[in-house]
């Protein structure tokens, strides 16, 4: 009998050990190293010698470009999160109810999930919202006698947001629509029957008092996912706004700013880059934990 | 629901679907046109003839190692998917089934990493990988992404619900723990494995930030980095750029069509728990 716990321990490490080791090396070590580097002057070196205390942190938190990247993220989140939420839910309700060609609609709306953010950036930047007269949107406007609009190059009014937001909306809408469709299908029919017996009007009343409350878990999960994904925005910003001349002074989300700070051509400031990474990590962990407190971890399921 | 309402909803869906397909239309139209046709101020719905030579020009072109980048992406996505499935399914099974004192602590170590998305820590990860000497190297592209905490947690959830009778039968037949896992548990979990595999493969093929940071040498570029290089260059050759982009999404669209059932399952499993 005494060999059993020992065999269990051996088996446990055989099954779980490799993954734990990898997580420690590739998640915990970088974060620890990052903390270490963030207290040093680490320009173009990973073995720094000059200790600067919280200097990198105060530099980052008083750095206008870093702070403006957080403002950029906030503006982006304020637009993309509610827009995607409402559109995904509306699409899910419509596709879930449609009788004819249901599978076709579901596939079409989900298809952009197969497309990379880089490819979408390319289509949006050089064809759909291209600033020259042969871009699709400008061609349509031209048919009405309107001059070509420089979509990505206009910061005042911030027309570039239209390009960035429509691109991400197209890319991620289908994914969230699927989450809502799955959740809608889990709502028991008897609830709708009960509502009907109670004389609730089909349409708005049923949606307001049955459907929406039943979707609460999925809604919270979707909102959190949307927020975290918006926070990590990089691919489409880098490819739509950046070019051979570099990156414009506007529309810089946190990761784009970090990329240019830590790995840009102007020299690698790994100390400040690390401090920035730590600040962002703390911010995102706080958001996740707050959500966890409100809802419990990984319990985004509707029960 | 009134008939008029149903018709209206259907019409709205048709319009939305057309808008959703529009970018794919642009991709194909521009990929098979000449440069002049794309930049003509007179909009044409389709090129006068289909210029398949755009595709051959890409593979003959020496400026950007496009064929090489496709191969790199394929190798990275296959290795990452296979490795991640093996590592995360084994770990998830161990955490779900093996009675061990420190199992709870180990799960804590895994779950804690879910708090900080990997993309946010790309700077320190870059520092680590460069000090390992893995820059512009397949190892740097594949290995750091193999250890997915999310997939491990999902596998654990899945195996907690796995019927124990099957495993008992295997043990009576004299199989050890690894034997039970390999011969009984995995073969009876193919649907879930396919779902996780489809999501992982697409994520790996489409990822951009990490390869951009790691693949500094053009011989190690993935297809996304190559496309980005073409796109952000001075005065890109639009027809070739679009042909390249169309080719790059082809494998994923085929996978999408073939495995849509698993993909949908993967999205609903990972999304709601993500």
| Domain boundaries of chain B, sorted by first residue | 63-270
Query: What proportions of chain A, in percent to the nearest 5, are helix, strand and coil?
Result: 70, 0, 25
- Which pLDDT value is given to residue B61? 66
Angle of helix A254-263 versus helix B122-131 axis, rounded to 10: 30
Question: Which CATH number is A287's domain given?
Answer: 1.10.3720.10
Q: How many domains does chain A have?
A: 1
Q: Is residue A2 part of a domain?
A: no
pLDDT tens per residue across span A93-116: 999 988 888 899 999 999 999 999
Facing residue for A111 by CB, picked from B6, B38, B256: B256
pLDDT digits (tens, 9 = 90+) for B187-208: 999 999 999 999 999 999 999 9
- Is residue A243 in some structural domain? yes
What pTM did the predictor assign?
A: 0.92
Superfamily of domain B63-270: MetI-like (1.10.3720.10)
Banded model confidence at residue A171, pLDDT cuts 50, 70, 90: very high
CA distance A280 to A180: 29
**Is B119 in Cβ contact with A15 (below 8 Å)?**
no
pLDDT digits (tens, 9 = 90+) for A69-78: 999 999 999 9
Residue A54 contacts B, CB cutoff 8 Å:
no
The residues in A 243-272 lying below 8 A from B, measured between CB atoms, are 243-244, 255, 258-259, 262-263, 270
Closest CA to A231 of B117, B236, B262: B117
Which residue segment(s) compose the domain that A249 sits in? 54-118+160-295
Q: Which residue of B has its CA nearest to A115?
A: B249
How far is residue A50's CA from residue A43's CA, in Å, rounded to a whole number?
Answer: 10
CA–CA dist A278, B88 (Å, integer): 27
Binary contact (B90, A19; C-beta < 8 A): yes
Is residue A254 one of the residues assigned to a domain?
yes
- pLDDT of amino acid B196: 94
Domain for residue A178, yes or no?
yes
**A103 CA: distance to closest CA in chain B (Å):** 11
CA A17 to chain centre: 31
CB of B175 within 8 Å of any CB in chain A?
Answer: no
Residue A48 forms part of a structural domain: no
Shortest Cα distance, chain B CAs vs residue A114, angstroms? 6
Q: For chain B, which ranges sit under pLDDT 70? A: 1, 61-64, 272-274
CA–CA separation, B240 vs A86, rounded Å? 37
């Amino acid at each position: 009998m005494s060999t059993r716990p020992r065999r269990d321990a051996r088996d446990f490490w055989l099954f779980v050990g490799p993954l734990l080791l990898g997580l420690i090396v590739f998640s915990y070590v970088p974060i620890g190293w990052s903390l270490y580097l963030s207290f040093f002057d680490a320009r173009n070196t990973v073995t720094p010698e000059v200790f600067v205390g919280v200097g990198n942190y105060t530099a980052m938190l008083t750095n206008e470009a870093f702070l403006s990247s957080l403002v950029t993220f906030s503006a982006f989140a304020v637009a993309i999160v509610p827009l995607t939420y409402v559109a995904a839910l509306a699409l899910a309700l419509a596709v879930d109810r449609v009788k004819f060609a249901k599978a076709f609609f579901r596939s079409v709306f989900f298809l952009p999930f197969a497309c990379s953010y880089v490819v979408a950036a390319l289509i949006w930047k050089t064809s759909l919202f291209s600033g020259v007269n042969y871009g699709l949107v400008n061609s349509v406007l031209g048919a009405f006698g309107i001059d070509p609009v420089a979509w990505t190059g206009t910061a005042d009014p911030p027309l570039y947001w239209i390009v960035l937001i429509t691109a991400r909306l197209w890319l991620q809408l289908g994914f969230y629509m699927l989450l809502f469709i799955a959740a809608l299908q889990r709502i028991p029919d008897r609830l709708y029957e009960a509502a009907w017996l109670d004389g609730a009007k089909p349409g708005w009343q049923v949606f307001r008092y049955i459907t929406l409350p039943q979707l609460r878990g999925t809604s919270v999960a979707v909102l959190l996912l949307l927020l975290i994904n918006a926070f990590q925005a990089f691919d489409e910003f880098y490819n739509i706004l950046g070019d051979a001349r570099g990156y414009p002074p506007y529309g810089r989300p946190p990761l784009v700013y970090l990329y240019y700070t830590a790995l840009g051509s102007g020299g690698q400031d790994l100390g400040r880059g690390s401090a920035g990474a730590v600040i962002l990590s703390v911010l995102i962990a706080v958001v996740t934990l707050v959500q966890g407190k409100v809802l419990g971890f990984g319990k985004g399921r509707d029960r | 629901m009134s008939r008029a309402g149903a018709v209206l909803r259907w019409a709205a869906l048709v319009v939305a679907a057309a808008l959703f397909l529009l970018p794919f239309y642009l991709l194909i139209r521009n990929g098979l046109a000449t440069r002049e046709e794309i930049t003509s101020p007179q909009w044409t719905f389709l090129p006068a003839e289909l210029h398949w030579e755009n595709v051959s020009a890409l593979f003959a072109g020496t400026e950007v190692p496009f064929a090489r980048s496709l191969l790199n992406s394929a190798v990275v996505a296959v290795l990452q998917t296979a490795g991640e499935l093996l590592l995360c399914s084994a770990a998830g099974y161990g955490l779900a089934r093996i009675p061990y004192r420190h199992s709870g602590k180990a799960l804590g170590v895994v779950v804690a990493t879910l708090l900080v998305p990997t993309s946010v820590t790309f700077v320190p990860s870059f520092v680590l990988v460069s000090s390992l000497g893995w820059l512009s190297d397949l190892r740097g592209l594949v290995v750091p992404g193999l250890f997915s905490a999310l997939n491990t947690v999902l596998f654990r959830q899945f195996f907690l619900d796995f019927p124990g009778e099957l495993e008992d039968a295997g043990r009576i037949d004299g199989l050890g723990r690894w034997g039970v896992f390999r011969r009984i548990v995995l073969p009876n979990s193919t649907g879930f494995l396919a779902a996780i595999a489809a999501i992982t493969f697409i994520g790996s093929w489409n990822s951009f930030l990490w390869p951009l940071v790691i693949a500094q040498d053009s011989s190690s570029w993935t297809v996304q980095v190559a496309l980005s290089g073409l796109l952000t260059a001075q005065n890109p050759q639009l027809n070739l750029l679009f042909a390249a982009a169309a080719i790059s999404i082809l494998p994923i669209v085929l996978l999408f069509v073939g495995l849509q059932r698993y993909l949908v399952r993967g999205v609903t499993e990972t999304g709601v728990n993500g």
